[in-house]
Structure 1
């Protein structure tokens, strides 16, 4: 416990968290939730919060079968969540999680160890399949099945009412998640996947990214031809929005590759006629000009790896060693349609001043075992205020915590 002394002293200065979960928004039916392992909040109980989750002198922690670079440690931070998807950092550095099957957003308040939170608190209930989160100017933005909601969050995490500010998004389809991101211009970017594997979409919202004003008004098509751009993040070096994109199925084990793109206004990314910038589709890309004018990917990844969440390591963070700071981290959810499974890991893309400086490199592996058994499917990747990393797993209901042990 001596190694936590400095951190424990810091905890004495934390803020008090009070309040209860918000009421459901209009037309939303509340759903039961399962709470994650850790202390849960009793009515009227005050809970500490802190922006810190670790210090320079962190303990050793590992999970049998998982492999990380030397010096990196990993623990299961929370268990028992209901299909946790994307995460964000809320007021006072508290980790917020879109708990999809629980129809809510939960807060994981930091405890005296990086191994688990001190408490788990449900913040916003009665949501419709929430899958993505982002914070901006005191508001939590939530991507739901057919809408974008926002909730005002105070420093004590007390939520205001749920406002559904974008309500015309298509519902369901082969790709049913809706990713919301607040861009560097403080506008709302929303990614909507295709309704099919490969087809001509009738709804312009599909296979596209739309942009809206901060109040949800004046929506317009921003980028098209993105089959399923699930992950979106702002590059801190050049303020570009980068996205992961899942390629089409049934062209074999190795085609087309998965991709990472930078978004440009009115950019054409090719789907369904052209894949990964230069691969004509055998059905929809028979024209000699099928790939003309299509944006080229910044990164390509093994086909069927299913890249989802991505996170840039912050330029002002230093918990990771220098070689791992200038990097983009991507969660590969894993294949379902490949003769030899692939993915089921977190990779690191090296960067130089925000530009891709090499191919993806394995960062966390071992969820896909040699016998084909799968013990984890990473989804979201979020960097904590102290520079440590959180990874969500929507299949096993877990949140992992990763840190570098110095000294």
Structure 2
């Protein structure tokens, strides 16, 4: 498998030509001037990323049964210790670390915590989350206030939801009480809090099988608890899903703040707070677009930048890295999640190429 994968990279480099912005292995990728990308680690099915505060240990989830632990012990910018950390899990996509270093794992049916001393405790027991494979890969994160958030996708394409389906849940880690923070969310697989305003922004994937160009994938802002984002009645700005035309019972759903192309599969996102990149990137968001699976002409397979103003208002979107999708439709990678390291570099997971990339910046001479 690794030999075949290496050959794919070599063929891509020959096809696209050399690039000053990526090392020879990844010369088919396009980045802005001064940015460089290289393979940091090889991890089967790499999905969500969680870095310890010192950046010395990275946990990587999968949609299988394993969470991996990665370390760069000699600090040379390439991981030298990749090993399974937990196995026997059920769709182990959601992971997060708190300030103490405790690891939270969201399985399809429950959420548990693993303390630094190895003690395991249940945060959300089985019976609350819909235990279904469709959109059953959870995404979790810890808010600036210390609460755990988890996305609960609708267990279908377009259908009525009930209970906690189609929501973002907020879990108080002191009492373990859970409440619905945002509703009408079809399937979010990425969110983060703006560094200045502390407002929650999240990606959401639109419904399938309605055509190549609708509905758009979304970036949404949840400024407070209790907002509804339209699903399954509405998408975009009060455009009705045909299955629920004239049935919408939600008044004035919150429209997206940024619309992405339909079916790009916008997943993980990360606000940039580091100092390695140029100042113009400060507090902007990077969004991984995993790529379409049922569109006539594939789209996505890239990392986008969403530019914000100083008040935390999103202004525009632009491509940050692309090239994983070739002009002939061949796919060489599918970005999933993004995590910033303490030195200001970015890690990007890819569950198609089974790797984690590291993006760095050096000012051009």
Residue of 301, 306, 328 corresponding to 1:349: 306
Q: Does 1:380 align with 2:337?
A: yes
> Are 1:279 and 2:242 an aligned pair?
no
CA contact (8 A) 1:326 1:354 kept: no
Check conservation: 2:184, 2:231, Cα contact below 8 A.
Answer: yes
Task: Please provide the CA RMSD for this pair.
Answer: 2.0
2:211 pairs, out of 217, 233, 252, with: 252
1:91-110 pair list within 5 angstroms: 91-93=53-55, 94-110=57-73
Change (3 A) 1:284 1:163: same
Q: Contact (CA 8 Å) 1:305, 1:335: kept in 2 or not?
A: yes
Measured in 1, the distance between the counterparts of 2:191 and 2:22 equals 32
Q: How many residues align?
A: 339
1:189-238 Cα deviation digits (max 9, x unpaired): 1111011110112x311111111210562212221110001111111110
Q: TM-score, normalised by structure 1?
A: 0.79
CA distance in 2, matches of 1:325, 1:199: 39
Partner Cα separation in structure 1 for residue 143 and residue 153 of structure 2 = 19
TM-score, reference length from structure 2? 0.87
Q: Take 2:361 and 2:251, find their aligned partners in 1: how far apart are those partners?
A: 45
Task: After TM superposition, list the pairs within 5 Å mapping 1:194-343 onto structure 2.
Answer: 194-201=154-161, 203-215=162-174, 217-263=176-222, 264-287=224-247, 292-314=251-273, 317-343=274-300
Structure 1 position 165 matched with structure 2 position 128: no
Equivalent residue in structure 2 for 1:74, among 37, 55, 58 = 37
Query: CA contact under 8 A between 2:70 and 2:79: conserved in structure 1?
Result: no
* Native 8 Å contact 1:83 1:102 kept in 2: no
Give 1:334 deviation, angstroms: 0.3
Shift in CA distance, 60/229, structure 1 to aligned 2, threshold 3 Å: closer
The answer on whether the counterparts of 1:104 and 1:126 sit within 8 Å (CA) in structure 2 is no
* Cα deviation code 1:20-61 (max 9, x no counterpart): xxxxxxxxxxxxxx9xxxxxxxxxxxxxxxxxxxxxxxx973
Q: CA deviation at 1:108?
A: 2.8
Tell me the residue number matched to 1:365: 322
Q: CA deviation at 1:132?
A: 2.0
Per the alignment, residue 352 of structure 2 pairs with 395
CA distance in 2, matches of 1:370, 1:254: 19
Whole-Å Cα distance in 2 between the matches of residues 234 and 224 of structure 1?
18
Deviation (angstroms), 1:124: 3.3
Please, which runs of 5 or more residues in structure 1 have no aligned partner? 1-33, 35-58, 154-158
CA contact (8 A) 1:320 1:387 kept: yes
Question: Quick one: distance in 1 between partners of 2:209 and 2:329?
Answer: 21
Q: Which has the larger radius of gyration?
A: 1
1:188 corresponds in structure 2 to 148
By how many angstroms is 1:95 displaced? 2.0
User: Structure 1: how far apart are the matches of 2:256 and 2:193?
Assistant: 16
2:71 corresponds to 1:113: no
Q: Distance in 2 between matches of 1:111 and 1:177?
A: 33
